[in-house]
Structure 1
Amino acid sequence: MPLAEIPLSVWRKHGQTFIFRGQAIRYWTAGQGEPLLLIHGFPTASWDWHYLWQPLAQRYRVIACDMLGFGDSAKPMNHQYSLLEQADLQQALLAHLNIEHSVHLLAHDYGDSVAQELLVRHQEARIDVASCVFLNGGLFPETHRPLLAQKLLLSPLGWMLGRAFTRDALVKNFRQIFGSKNRPTESEMDDFWSLVESNRGPRIMHKLIGYIPERRVQRDRWIGAMQRCDVPLRVIDGEVDPISGAHMVERYRQLIPNPDTVLLPGIGHYPQIEAPVQVLKHYVEFRDRLTLAPRRMACS
């Protein structure tokens, strides 16, 4: 049975704002129970989770924000964007909500890298992460296959491309990364574009794209944490994603001990949009299994 959509106009009405280092950040929270932090990807925003939002809120306390430079949050022009700062932002949001106990993570794309940083901080006893599930994302720089548009944004002319980025360009890129039978409707593309365009977003896209080289810098640190830490992990991945599909999962199975992976046939880069029922099923199965096994409290 399909999951109910939350229209973007309704989603926006339920958002709240807090201030992070002088910048306005939009966030959402619902439900009760163990905290579940949802971390969105590039170039979209936390509305990416809208199909899963209500079903997850029936089980957990769900929390999500539009990260700095994304969606309806502030998008300062003269700012050096960093995945490490976005991890700081997630921790600041948890502090703002007075959440001091363990938190579960569900991340996608750019958000995967933020979650990887939080796993390192778990090892350093700076946050208590209870579990982490990754959707499609560049967990390993050697398997990440950026689109041409992403490569151009990284070039010296990236600032020009960003300012010229249009809805048509977003549609073209999304057609490449969604499964052929699961592409967004025109109405959904209007909403995705509204989030990208909000607060003059295209003018900073060349700054946000710096996450790609930053991943290379942090690679060994992040993968080491995934290999050594006790936090239960799972990957739920759209198999036909050209950026981080089956080839990324193959690498995950090579590098991560006792790999727990789920491949979704025919699904592309946005499984939470393309196949939310399947993602929900595999996520809840993962969480229910955790309640049956006692958790070790240390990382080695």
Structure 2
Amino acid sequence: MEQVFTDDRGTAQSVQGSGTLEWWQQGGRWFSYGGHAIFSRMAGQGEPLILLHGFPTSSWDWSRVWPMLSQQFNVLTLDMLGFGFSDKPVDYSYSIEDQADLFQGWIEALGLTSVHLFAHDYGCSVAQELLAREQEGVLPFRISSVCFLNGALFPEVHTPLLIQKLLKSPFGGLISRGLTRRTFERNFRRLFGGQNAPDQNDLNDFWYLITYNNGRGILHRLIQFMEERRCHRNRWVGALQRAQQPIRLISGTADPVSGAAMARRFRELVKNPDVVGLRNVGHYPHFECPWDVFTNYRDFRKRIAERS
């Protein structure tokens, strides 16, 4: 299959062999973490770039920007435990700290001494935890830069959807197991802006990955990260404020849960804030407008290279 995008000059470009969920799965490999199978993907050459996905989706979120990024960088990603094609154990204490352990161990096992991080949503919190660990001197590798896409970097301005509040409630288990496709699609569509909402095929793929291997039954366990964000707020916000490496936020400003208000808070609390706003774009900028996300990330990296 061929994926087509438009470059800076308005010229149509294409990348062969990309675009389907089957292609994404077949191009991956699995490794073991605590006895659980973790799905991962790697492509490209150059400096290692780690992609961290969001909730409740998976690394597939990056599929539209993957061909462009992998032409310039050594791109690596995985489905965190409980997501996508990775194992989804029912009796497990899911946490941001555990997912950070997963990434830390994976990067160390690969023998990487420095990495760049590109994180979205849930992955933003994992990246913040990794930043905090680096500042404590406990990481075996260096974080060279961090780019964030829409995520609850500052929990005080995060506005979750009603379905998210219900999943986090004492009735979360019932809500999770009883989640219907219709309810999922209605709520998921609300996260997108007016520029490029998902079509039915896209929704089919997202639903398949969420429900794969009984994933619907653990959503209430995964979403407890919202409470983690509140409890670890000072640690994770402090990591942003103390960071010495370049940091950029690319924000879809039409995102109803972590859009314009999150970008404003970033400008208020982070020294010398580097923020790029994407108008009419919602919570999944890398899926809604992959070329815009790629060009803004590429420019971020070019600026870093020019300084060094």
1:186-225 correspondence to structure 2 within 5 Å: 186-225=200-239
Using the TM superposition, give the Cα deviation of residue 107 of structure 1 relative to its aligned residue in structure 2, in angstroms: 0.4
DSSP 3-state at the match of 2:283? coil
1:85-100 correspondence to structure 2 within 5 Å: 85-99=98-112
Which residue does 1:109 correspond to in 2? 121
Which residue does 1:160 correspond to in 2? 174
Which residue does 1:297 correspond to in 2? none
Which residue does 2:184 correspond to in 1? 170
Provide the C-alpha distance between the structure 1 equivalents of 2:48 and 2:189, rounded to a whole number of angstroms. Answer: 34
1:286 equivalenced with 2:278 (yes/no): no
Q: TM-score, normalised by structure 2?
A: 0.93
C-alpha RMSD of matched pairs (Å): 1.1
Provide the C-alpha distance between the structure 2 equivalents of 1:238 and 1:22, rounded to a whole number of angstroms. Answer: 37
1:241 is aligned, of 245, 248, 255, to 255
Which residue does 1:62 correspond to in 2? 75
Which residue does 2:87 correspond to in 1? 74
Provide the C-alpha distance between the structure 2 equivalents of 1:232 and 1:10, rounded to a whole number of angstroms. Answer: 33
Provide the C-alpha distance between the structure 2 equivalents of 1:166 and 1:287, rounded to a whole number of angstroms. Answer: 41
Structure 2 residue ranges without an equivalent (≥5): 7-13
Q: Which amino acid aligns with 1:78?
A: D
Using the TM superposition, give the Cα deviation of residue 52 of structure 1 relative to its aligned residue in structure 2, in angstroms: 1.1
Which residue does 2:28 correspond to in 1? 15
* % same residue: 49
Using the TM superposition, give the Cα deviation of residue 90 of structure 1 relative to its aligned residue in structure 2, in angstroms: 0.7
Q: Which amino acid aligns with 1:108?
A: H
Using the TM superposition, give the Cα deviation of residue 63 of structure 1 relative to its aligned residue in structure 2, in angstroms: 0.4
2:285 is aligned, of 249, 271, 280, to 271
DSSP 3-state at the match of 1:291? helix
Using the TM superposition, give the Cα deviation of residue 98 of structure 1 relative to its aligned residue in structure 2, in angstroms: 2.3
Per-residue CA distance 1:46-80 (angstroms, 9 max, x = gap): 01001111111111110000000000101000001
| Number of residue equivalences | 293
Provide the C-alpha distance between the structure 2 equivalents of 1:268 and 1:216, rounded to a whole number of angstroms. Answer: 23
Per-residue CA distance 1:179-224 (angstroms, 9 max, x = gap): 1342101001000011001110010000000000000111101111
1:30 is aligned, of 43, 46, 55, to 43
Q: Is the 8 A contact 1:174 1:183 kept in 2?
A: no
Using the TM superposition, give the Cα deviation of residue 166 of structure 1 relative to its aligned residue in structure 2, in angstroms: 2.3
Provide the C-alpha distance between the structure 1 equivalents of 2:165 and 2:288, rounded to a whole number of angstroms. Answer: 25
Provide the C-alpha distance between the structure 2 equivalents of 1:54 and 1:6, rounded to a whole number of angstroms. Answer: 9
Which residue does 1:122 correspond to in 2? 134
Provide the C-alpha distance between the structure 2 equivalents of 1:146 and 1:180, rounded to a whole number of angstroms. Answer: 19
Per-residue CA distance 1:226-268 (angstroms, 9 max, x = gap): 1112011000010110001111100110000000000000000
Q: Is the 8 A contact 1:179 1:267 kept in 2?
A: yes
2:161 is aligned, of 141, 147, 171, to 147
Q: Is the 8 A contact 1:146 1:243 kept in 2?
A: yes
Structure 1 residue ranges without an equivalent (≥5): 295-300
Which residue does 1:298 correspond to in 2? none
Which residue does 2:197 correspond to in 1? 183
DSSP 3-state at the match of 1:201? helix
Q: Which amino acid aligns with 2:185?
A: V
Using the TM superposition, give the Cα deviation of residue 176 of structure 1 relative to its aligned residue in structure 2, in angstroms: 0.9
